[in-house]
Amino acid sequence: MLRLTELRLPLDHSPDALAKAICDRLAITPEQLEHFSIFRRGHDARRRDAIRLVYTLDCTVSDEAAVLARYREVNPKDPHVQPTPDMAWHAPVADGAALAARPGYQRPVVVGAGPCGFMAALILARMGLRPLLLERGKVVRERTVDTFALWRRSELNPESNVQFGEGGAGTFSDGKLYSQVRDPRFLGRKVLEEFVKAGAPEDILYLAHPHIGTFRLVSMVEHIRREVEEAGGEYRFQSRVEDLLLDPATRQVRGLRLADGEVIETSHVIMAVGHSARDTFAMLQAQGVAMQAKPFSIGVRIEHPQSVIDLAQFGACAGNSLLGAAEYRLVHHASNGRGVYSFCMCPGGTVVAATSEEGRVVTNGMSQYSRAERNANSGIVVELRPGQDYPDDPLAGMAYQRHWEQQAFVAGGGDYRAPAQRIEDFLAGRPSVSLGTVVPSYKPGVTPTDLATCLPDFVVEALREALPKFDRKLRGYAMGDAVMTGVETRTSSPIRVTRGEDGQSTNTPGLYPAGEGAGYAGGILSASMDGIRVAEVVAQALAGLPAQL
Ligand code: FAD
């Protein structure tokens, strides 16, 4: 098969234009083109009056070798026609079931049922290694009820919320599934294929910026759980890991202690607890596990009418079903030396209350697959630096997050409403006393106020500089009535739990720090990919094979 990249066609091209474009590119007759499929479809909207669809296509042609040789002869420097790479995933351990049947076999334990944890469990289970997955929160349907209790009635359950429970932090999200990480082994493809098998929409396999939306994510994680169980794995909910049991001489992992006192013996633990497991990080530090402070960012969520973003991005093509609700990505380097950037943009979505701790307010965003809500929202966040903004101690970033989340709780009125401000007021340095035409979507509600009371001064300064600059790139962005809601603190983990090439903690053998919380992923797709990689090295270690991430 041949892979053709960068094949550009007008937005309104006819269905048969693709086959013709392939034949033109390869200089073949229609009869020579036996079959083709779309591997990826994106769009280039840099010129709003001439938006193009950009395709990557896989084609089967007769006499492929000759067609490729002739193409290379005529276009020696063109990289856009290549043999389609082998994207299949191969299990590193073939006889896992036999291994697991040996007397004295100890199951590997995965802590955390987020994308990293459930994907690691799925891979281990498929290899026959019978993993045990421990999750502090509840099964996803019960968790949904608890999450809605905060959004509707201001009742927070610190163990079952937007951050904690089956599916992990991304369950109530836009479900964006793309990542910038290098992926020479096509693990991202493997993740997307597993998600589709578990009920995600098929278009995630070919859209350049795929998303699932929260509703379908819920049933997808249930389906993955069933797959893990059918393959011999086990899930346990409301099972918070509170301690790590180590050999006093070698620091080799011997087991885990749960909150109810139960001890689970194991010598292989995948720690995929996400970026909000602050108590677990404190426990790991108390146990002497090697970790470092890691930079992260804080800022606000901003909401505009989706129609303003669609018009700015797509002009007269706004509303075209192939383009969907418009996204954006913005970056500004502020004169105080800070990077300001858009984060986790959710077209046609809602801003959500995302705290996992009492007395704190945290924002984030989510949407449904249709992305049909009235507002577009995005985090607009500013880079922080450990050692400059707070002490260079592994847990200091967490304390810094807590401080600003608490300030936001107070500024919001002390009942989980979030502090909010119109852009015009924020830029003018005055508190908002009321909001305008943009109706904020955050539940349980917002309090118009001054966001400068719950953000560091240098963040406020950088945001005030960046917003008018963003308006030059995206017309209407600094519209007076756009609403800013705070605070956005859980952008990534403030910690890295260091691991070596074999995936194990650098000073605690048998502990495999993984996913976003350990500092090795940022988002659903990259966390899932890390789950696969870590499951592979755990399987290799169990089988006595050399293991390398
Ligand atoms: P998590 O998903 O955080 O999972 C960790 C799990 O570990 C949790 O379920 C937690 O309950 C459990 N746990 C923690 N401590 C313990 C313990 N001691 N014992 C047992 N279990 C424990 N990313 C995207 O790519 N696209 C998006 O559209 C997107 N939108 C988001 C919207 C929201 C509202 C939020 C909060 C996040 C969003 N993200 C999005 C980020 C994404 O959710 C995370 O990057 C991803 O979930 C990280 O996966 P993970 O498995 O590493 O950790």
Q: Are 96 and 128 in contact (CB under 8 A)?
A: yes
529 lines ligand 1 (CB under 6 A): no
> Residue 493: how many CB atoms within 10 A of its CB?
25
Residue 159 resides in a domain = yes
With CA atoms as reference, report the closest residue to 95 among 123, 120, 129, 119: 129
Provide the strand spans (E) within 443-530. 446-448, 483-488, 495-497, 511-513
- Looking at the fold, whether 112 and 210 belong to one and the same domain comes out as yes
Residue 362 resides in a domain = yes
Q: Are 376 and 325 in contact (CB under 8 A)?
A: yes
Residue 209 and residue 174: Cα distance in Å, rounded? Answer: 11
Q: Whose structure tokens read 């945290």?
A: 362
Residue 524 resides in a domain = yes
- Looking at the fold, whether 501 and 480 belong to one and the same domain comes out as no
Residue 88 resides in a domain = no
The complex's ipTM works out to: 0.99
- Looking at the fold, whether 238 and 269 belong to one and the same domain comes out as yes
Residue 118 resides in a domain = yes
CATH number of the domain where residue 37 is located: 3.30.70.2700
Sign of the torsion angle spanned by Cα atoms 199, 202, 205, 208: negative
- Looking at the fold, whether 208 and 281 belong to one and the same domain comes out as yes
- Looking at the fold, whether 213 and 192 belong to one and the same domain comes out as yes
pLDDT single digits (tens) 228-245: 999 999 999 999 999 999
Provide the strand spans (E) within 334-467. 339-346, 350-353, 363-366, 375-383, 418-422, 446-448
- Looking at the fold, whether 172 and 146 belong to one and the same domain comes out as yes
User: How confident is the model at residue 522, as a pLDDT?
Assistant: 95
pLDDT single digits (tens) 21-66: 999 999 999 999 999 999 999 999 999 999 999 999 999 999 999 9
Sequence-separated (6 or more) residues with CB below 8 Å from residue 245: 253, 254, 255, 256, 257, 263
- Looking at the fold, whether 384 and 462 belong to one and the same domain comes out as yes
- The alpha carbon of 225 and the centre of ligand 1 are apart by a number of angstroms equal to 16
Number of domains in the chain: 3
109 lines ligand 1 (CB under 6 A): no
Residue 100 resides in a domain = no
489 lines ligand 1 (CB under 6 A): no
Residue 93 resides in a domain = no
- Looking at the fold, whether 503 and 478 belong to one and the same domain comes out as no
- Looking at the fold, whether 279 and 310 belong to one and the same domain comes out as no
Q: Whose structure tokens read 């696969």?
A: 532
170 lines ligand 1 (CB under 6 A): yes
- Looking at the fold, whether 344 and 200 belong to one and the same domain comes out as no
In terms of DSSP bridges, do strands 269-271 and 109-111 run parallel, antiparallel, or are they unpaired? parallel
Q: Relative to the CA of 524, which ligand 1 atom is closest?
A: 25
Residue 392 and residue 390: Cα distance in Å, rounded? Answer: 7
Residues in the chain, pLDDT under 50:
none
- The alpha carbon of 202 and the centre of ligand 1 are apart by a number of angstroms equal to 23
- Looking at the fold, whether 252 and 356 belong to one and the same domain comes out as no
Residues in the chain: 549
> pTM, whole model, 2 decimals?
0.97
- The upper half-sphere exposure of residue 6, i.e. CA atoms within 13 Å in the direction of its Cβ, equals 5
Q: Relative to the CA of 166, which ligand 1 atom is closest?
A: 9
Which residue range forms the structural domain that includes residue 422?
297-488
113 lines ligand 1 (CB under 6 A): yes
User: How confident is the model at residue 395, as a pLDDT?
Assistant: 97
346 φ/ψ angles, rounded to the nearest 5 degrees: -120, 100
123 lines ligand 1 (CB under 6 A): no
172 lines ligand 1 (CB under 6 A): yes
Provide the strand spans (E) within 190-268. 234-236, 241-246, 253-258, 263-265
With CA atoms as reference, report the closest residue to 192 among 218, 212, 214: 212
Q: Determine the 3-state secondary structure of 317 from DSSP.
A: helix
- Looking at the fold, whether 284 and 177 belong to one and the same domain comes out as yes
